[in-house]
Amino acid sequence: MPFEPDHVLLGKFVDAHERGDLADAAEYWERLAVNNFDRVKNTVKGFRFSAGGPGIPPDEHGSAASEAFLRVIAMSAAFRKRETGRFYAALATCVENACRDFGRKELRHQKRSAGSLDRTYEPDGEAGPFDAALAAYDADLRRQTEEALEAEAARQEAEGLVAWGIARIKNDTYREVLELTYLHKLSGEAIADRLAISLDNVYQRRRRGILELDRILREHRS
């Protein structure tokens, strides 16, 4: 099966659901999951329970990635959005929840223990870390529609949550490097050439921009 980008597969997945073709929907979601397996596996390896704290022990990376990947496939039952940014937000929430759950391993048989690793799950009551940014993003899209700026709304919808987040980075130089990294998918060298800056500058701006984008998408409050 040749590669198809995530936004194409998401669109086909939602279309298949809308026409009641669950077999096709399952196939498209399976391909989305395969496309994103490296994201899942690497997120598990890089996950830390707290800033600067420990992660999942290396000998448990495989088990944690297996559980996370199963949970990503299970997401298909409820996920019906067409946009990749929303999909990545949901996927990150799901994988990071799975990682946190591994931190509770030692707490087995201890019910309702306190502590940051032991957030109690209420059925369907879990708020994701990206919910605030998504809500603000939705509100912006709605406002634009209400103001009859339909062309602008359509453009934003196409570019998605990530472009929306990048546009909110205040530092022009970080924002520029992130646009070229995420939206134009240029390498560090190509960005250095395009902006006539040193590679060292690209490295710095990329790192700071990535952290700023993450902060905007995680902590946004309207």
Q: Least distance from C-beta 207 to other proteins, angstroms?
A: 5
Please, which residues bridge with residue 48 across strands? 55
- Among 65, 134, 153, 169, contact with other proteins (rule: CB under 8 A): 65
Q: Which of 57, 62, 116, 155 binds other proteins (CB under 8 A)?
A: 62
Q: Is 63 in the site for other proteins (CB under 8 A)?
A: yes
Task: State how far the alpha carbon of 170 is from the alpha carbons of 151, 178, 198, 208, 211, in Å.
Answer: 24, 12, 21, 12, 13
Under the binding rule (CB under 8 A), the answer on residue 2 touching other proteins is yes
Site string for other proteins, 75-104 (x = CB under 8 A): xxxx-----xx--xx--x-x--x---xx-x
Is residue 57 involved in binding other proteins (CB under 8 A)?
no
Q: Does 10 bind other proteins (CB under 8 A)?
A: no
Chain positions 104 to 133 lying near other proteins, rule: CB under 8 A, are 104-105, 108-109, 111, 120-121, 123-126
Instruction: Look at residue 220 and give its three-state secondary structure.
Output: coil
DSSP letter for each residue of 9-50: HHHHHHHHHHTT-HHHHHHHHHHHHHHTHHHHHHHHHH-BSS
- Look at phi and psi of residue 52 and say left if phi exceeds 0, alpha if psi is from -120 to 50, else beta: left
Residue with tokens 């490097």: 177
- Residues numbered 181-210 forming contacts with other proteins, rule: CB under 8 A: 181-182, 185, 187-189, 199-204, 206-207, 210
| Cβ–Cβ < 8 Å for 17, 29 | no
Residues 141-160, interacting with other proteins (CB under 8 A): none
